[in-house]
Structure 1
Amino acid sequence: MSRSTEPQTQAYRIVQEKRRREFSPWLALTIGAVLLALLFVAWPILNVLMKSFSGSSGDPLAGWAEFFADPTYLTAVGNTLLLATIVTLLATALGVFLAYFTARFSFWGKAAVAVLPVTAILVPEVIVTQAWLMFLGNNGFLTRFVRDVLGIQLPTLYGWSGLILILPLLYYTYVYLGTLAALKGFDSLLEEAAMSLGSSPLAARLNVMIPAIFPAVASTSMVVFTLTIGNFATSTIIGGKVELLAPLTYRAFLAETGGDPLMQSTLATVAIAIVALVLFVQRMTVGKRKYEMVQGRSWVPIRLRGASGAVLATIAALILIASTLPLAMVAAMAFTKSTGPVLRWGEFSLDNVTKVLAREPQPILNTIGFGAMACLIGVFVSVIVAVLIVKKKTFLTPFLDYLVMLPMALSGTVLGIGMITAFGPGGIFTLSGTTAIIVLVFVIRRLVHGVRNASATLHAIPDSLEDASVSLGVPPFRSFLNVVLPLMIPGIAAATVLTWVTIIGELSASLVVYSAGRETITIKVFQLMNTGLNAQAAAYGLILILLAIVPIAIATKVFKIRLFT
């Protein structure tokens, strides 16, 4: 051992000895976090699974016998898998193309183009669906224009056509962000080395670049697949006669509320089984194909030129216009005069906004109140969990990580049914019909966003900083509070904003657990759309969009917080 390394080794030993001597609260926190996750995540899911084998007739397989005997259920599963496959392929194609276009080429307005896809996940799904209906629905703005002026009857948006149009535009952003990050980390020297050995540029990309970014693309595609399986709002509103698993599960819940919740649990169990299978396939395939990039040179963007550049720019523009169109449509509808369900296009009015603000503000107040409580609790918990997973690992850490990530893979309908089953009448304790169960659902469903964001920040903080503080005599726990926690503040702020945005847009889980007087904006929009009052729904939607975008603008422009990197 060289003399230069001896002091470092001795200091490391001193740090480790100090940590062993002092009582560490981290193991106690880990045990507490695991127990809470078992109670509020694993127990509701386990209740759903057990209820599917508890028929009122005494036959534990009664629900499954009905499931396999009724062609409606089997058709719903087949349709759901087919839809998820189609949406995943289309969303992956859109996301990969736009990511490659943004990373590879230089053009005017590139900074704006790189961020615009994020708006697709900022606008709540129910609002996006509403906007598309107003644009291309049976009485939509563009539908009427094409029919009355051009004499062309567009196909109906209800059914497969609408689902295949809207869902890829809702979810492609996940693939885009993951692929863009992978492309920015790709070492272009590898591609140049392949070409220097005789490969053509196309062959070099196929043999070098694609394998390197494949794990990111495949992982985000799996996310799209699971999100489509659990999709509720779009599937319910425009699904039409297409039987799909999430809406069918919700209808079973409505039909069986107060009775034997057999089929709702059986259908929810099917959804859980599908997602579990998808995660297993991901771990067995994508998880084994990982590539690490050494420090190298990223691409030098090339300028768009010629006919091919014009074609690529046109495709990218169409994708961005289609994914940001809902923002413009919601704003237009909110300020359009209406008589019942009839919108008078071209007639400006403040009546819709005035009505929701002055006469029916409760959904807005509920959204702000419930969302604020859930956001504060969720961020506090997510920071602790992220620290335990990244910095304070124990034998329980992998189990805790899995439990925290589990709600992301489940549909909101399944999670909501699990919560009602576990914490309704006859459960461990009763929360149904209270504000607490709504806040709890928000926290559990969106906790993953805070954990992942805080974890990313912690990965960038070297352990040597905390070790240096401990070696100077500061106890480990106090060293963490004085050294690591202040460095986490930007990450905590980013986690707070993103958690807030996703919480206020939640619909499917809250629709299952809410009670009268506790409607949020998304629930109110869903109800108004079912009654045809789209102008009022748009006014609520506009307020919801502002509640999402204003904090993001303040965080990024005023406080310079990097939310999407």
Structure 2
Amino acid sequence: MTSRAAAPLLATPYLLWMLAAFAAPLGVVALLSVQESPEIFAPLSFIPSGVQYADLATDPFSRRTILRTLALGAGVTLASAILGYPIALWLTRLPPRWRPLGFACVLVPLLTNVVVRSLGIILLLAPGGLVSNLLAFLGLPRVNLLFGWFAVGLALTQVFLPYMVLALYDVLEAQEKRLAEAAAGLGAGPVVTFFRVTLPLSLQGLRAGLVLVFLLASTAYVSATLVGGRQVMVSGMVVLKEGLEILNYPAASALAMVMLGASVLGTLLIGRAILFATPWSAGRPPRRLPGLPPALRRALVAALEAVGPLVARLLLGIALLLLLFPLVLVAVSSFNDSPQATVAQWLGFTWRWYAAVLGNERYLGDAWVSLQLALAATGVSLLISLPAAIGLARGTFPGREALAAFFMLPLALPGIAIGLGMLRLLQWFTLLPAFLGILAVHVVLVAPFMLAMLRASVAGLDRGLEEAASGLGAPPWRVFQRVVLPQLAPGIAVACLIGFLISFGEVTVTAFLTTARLQTLPVRIYAEAAFSLENTVNAISTVFILVTVLLLLAMHRLVPLDRVWRR
């Protein structure tokens, strides 16, 4: 057992990194948000001013943008829940031999660059695209669905749906299967069983999924920029514009802090709603709702049981198509002999876009930067996450769970606030290399995922082997080298692969920190997709998809994909 004194020490490197690369940038954003002067060279004032917040409150454009962004986040969260349940239930019911393939349908989109997935939505909704041609085939007028709130909401749902699925899968897989069998034995059909048994018992997983998707969707801006065509303005785009183009850091910081506050408030409201729906979790009796007349209730139940299975299959098909079909469209379009990436009409087969990518020194240089950054971020994250995982899994020190929650905090706070704060720090401390600043933020984004996986792996170790080795006289370092590390090797490899993919494809925060001389490949794709839209974007995006699939195959050889998330 890790001693009470040693366990906190093991978590210290992780804590120090979080303080330097997460707490410090957030502190900078909070300080900038209370500055009175918007001038970039104005001296910092430690006397707080509410001017920036007053401007946001009195500016109709700012109020409208914030409210629309929150409404968009709420809509995406609701859509993800509706589409997430059919996939999660489908995964739990797949035979064991097919379950890894089912998980691949979720993990491939999850770990594929957000720009790539947004390009797929553009191809789906573009004039002359699949939806437009389908409407024409049915004799309906063609509709341009791009550059509107529906398109942005669909893109964000495609991006964040995997988080909801994985959050629901955890609780659904852990449910006692005999409860559903008992309900069926008492005469309940599939719809009644879902609403009376499955749904109530999975509300805690639903809560986690709702919180995570709302936090991510209400602060996203990449998909809104691409699919919305800069005609749909969300808060993240305003922060990016104020911070990088206008250089009004106090205004950008104030908006980022308002988004942070709104995210926390939304999280609290979701928690209250789930608590209201599950009074038994707080020791209170269930609420009795007004009942329908028996005849009407029986008719309603019969109608729901008749259409419910069909609706569930339809939602499952829509969800799987939404996850995978945009990626297929990107891959097909990469061979299309069309100069524009958003032209969905097939003009002929060609390899020239791949040749253009391989002959483009900018792509190759940016790919090299992304590779170096991802490898460095994965390596540093492993160095600080593995000791922290051991300390948290085996330590018994006071405040352990609070410390673990703090380590997971970057997953629950707007990434643009971290990016904006780190950008300002790099401008103040010019001797700090830009690569190191980006690396620091990437570690903050990657390390929580790796920590969660490694902590589960450490908790699953066979302690008897360690005790036997110690009983035979092996010193602690030899026990760790010969017993612990071999058992952790698959978990470490999987965590590193996940960390590498997350870092390699990161755009949202990295876009704040790249420079003309130091740019990652995902940011390059994002910039080109937002302006030039040449078909080389689809070619390099297809390479992203292929790399993700190959790494997931390698991961599956180490640990079955259906067990990766549970680690």
TM more than 0.5: yes
Match of 1:378 among 364, 378, 381: 381
**Residue range with higher mean Cα deviation, 340-349 or 489-498:** 340-349
Equivalent residue for 1:4? none
Alpha-carbon separation, structure 2, partners of 1:477 and 1:25 = 14
Aligned in 2, Cα 1:392/1:509: closer, same or farther, shift over 3 Å?
Answer: same
Q: Does 1:414 align with 2:417?
A: yes
Equivalent residue for 1:254? 244
Alpha-carbon separation, structure 2, partners of 1:52 and 1:411 = 15
Secondary structure, in 3 states, of the residue corresponding to 1:346?
Answer: coil
Equivalent residue for 1:28? 9
Greater relative contact order (CA < 8 Å, ≥ 6 in sequence) = 2
Q: Does 1:426 align with 2:407?
A: no
Give the alignment of 1:525-536 within 5 angstroms.
Answer: 525-536=525-536
Alpha-carbon separation, structure 2, partners of 1:437 and 1:139 = 43
Secondary structure, in 3 states, of the residue corresponding to 2:564?
Answer: coil
Q: Which consecutive residues of structure 1, in runs of 5 or more, have no partner in the other structure?
A: 1-14, 292-305
Aligned in 2, Cα 1:249/1:143: closer, same or farther, shift over 3 Å?
Answer: same
Deviation at 1:244, TM superposition (A): 1.3
Alpha-carbon separation, structure 2, partners of 1:287 and 1:467 = 43
Q: Does 1:366 align with 2:363?
A: no
Equivalent residue for 1:296? none
Equivalent residue for 1:175? 164
* CA offsets 1:152-178 (integer angstroms, 9 cap, x no match): 221422111102222222222222222
Specify the code of the residue in structure 1 equivalent to 2:151.
Answer: G
Give the alignment of 1:244-323 within 5 angstroms.
Answer: 244-257=234-247, 260-281=248-269, 312-323=312-323
Q: 2:335, 2:349 within 8 Å by CA — same for their partners in 1?
A: yes
Give the alignment of 1:478-489 within 5 angstroms.
Answer: 478-489=478-489
Equivalent residue for 2:451? 451
Secondary structure, in 3 states, of the residue corresponding to 2:516?
Answer: coil
Q: 1:72, 1:243 within 8 Å by CA — same for their partners in 2?
A: no
Secondary structure, in 3 states, of the residue corresponding to 1:337?
Answer: coil
Aligned in 2, Cα 1:100/1:56: closer, same or farther, shift over 3 Å?
Answer: same
Q: 1:219, 1:282 within 8 Å by CA — same for their partners in 2?
A: no
Q: Does 1:39 align with 2:28?
A: no
Normalised by the size of structure 2, how large is the TM-score?
0.83
- Alignment length, in residue pairs? 528
Alpha-carbon separation, structure 1, partners of 2:76 and 2:57 = 26
Deviation at 1:354, TM superposition (A): 1.0
Q: 2:12, 2:388 within 8 Å by CA — same for their partners in 1?
A: no
Equivalent residue for 1:135? 124
Specify the code of the residue in structure 2 equivalent to 1:209.
Answer: T
Secondary structure, in 3 states, of the residue corresponding to 2:519?
Answer: coil
Equivalent residue for 2:296? none
Deviation at 1:538, TM superposition (A): 0.8
Q: 2:15, 2:407 within 8 Å by CA — same for their partners in 1?
A: no
Specify the code of the residue in structure 1 equivalent to 2:155.
Answer: I
Q: 2:377, 2:446 within 8 Å by CA — same for their partners in 1?
A: no
Q: Which consecutive residues of structure 2, in runs of 5 or more, have no partner in the other structure?
A: 39-44, 282-305
Q: 2:155, 2:227 within 8 Å by CA — same for their partners in 1?
A: no
Specify the code of the residue in structure 2 equivalent to 1:246.
Answer: G
Secondary structure, in 3 states, of the residue corresponding to 1:339?
Answer: coil
* CA offsets 1:226-267 (integer angstroms, 9 cap, x no match): 11012121112223433311111111112343xx51111101
* CA offsets 1:405-454 (integer angstroms, 9 cap, x no match): 12111233221101112x22334x7436x211222221111211111111
Specify the code of the residue in structure 1 equivalent to 2:162.
Answer: T
Equivalent residue for 1:9? none
Q: 1:375, 1:496 within 8 Å by CA — same for their partners in 2?
A: yes
Deviation at 1:123, TM superposition (A): 2.1
Equivalent residue for 1:333? 333
Equivalent residue for 2:358? 357
Secondary structure, in 3 states, of the residue corresponding to 2:338?
Answer: strand
Alpha-carbon separation, structure 2, partners of 1:319 and 1:284 = 28
* CA offsets 1:55-85 (integer angstroms, 9 cap, x no match): 2277711111111111111111111111111
Secondary structure, in 3 states, of the residue corresponding to 2:428?
Answer: coil
Percent identity over paired residues: 21
Q: 2:121, 2:227 within 8 Å by CA — same for their partners in 1?
A: no
Aligned in 2, Cα 1:558/1:357: closer, same or farther, shift over 3 Å?
Answer: farther
Secondary structure, in 3 states, of the residue corresponding to 2:346?
Answer: strand
Q: 2:507, 2:522 within 8 Å by CA — same for their partners in 1?
A: yes
Secondary structure, in 3 states, of the residue corresponding to 1:515?
Answer: coil
Deviation at 1:489, TM superposition (A): 1.1
Alpha-carbon separation, structure 1, partners of 2:240 and 2:353 = 30
Q: 1:504, 1:544 within 8 Å by CA — same for their partners in 2?
A: no
Q: 1:41, 1:403 within 8 Å by CA — same for their partners in 2?
A: no
Alpha-carbon separation, structure 1, partners of 2:342 and 2:191 = 53
Alpha-carbon separation, structure 1, partners of 2:457 and 2:273 = 28
* CA offsets 1:102-147 (integer angstroms, 9 cap, x no match): 4357799776445423332122111111122123124545536755
Alpha-carbon separation, structure 2, partners of 1:395 and 1:107 = 40
Alpha-carbon separation, structure 1, partners of 2:186 and 2:326 = 48
CA RMSD, Structure 1 to Structure 2 (Å): 3.3
Deviation at 1:203, TM superposition (A): 4.8
Q: 1:147, 1:154 within 8 Å by CA — same for their partners in 2?
A: no
Alpha-carbon separation, structure 1, partners of 2:322 and 2:271 = 33
Equivalent residue for 2:87? 98
**Residue range with higher mean Cα deviation, 488-497 or 411-420:** 411-420
Deviation at 1:505, TM superposition (A): 1.5
Equivalent residue for 1:75? 64
* CA offsets 1:537-560 (integer angstroms, 9 cap, x no match): 111211222222211112214776
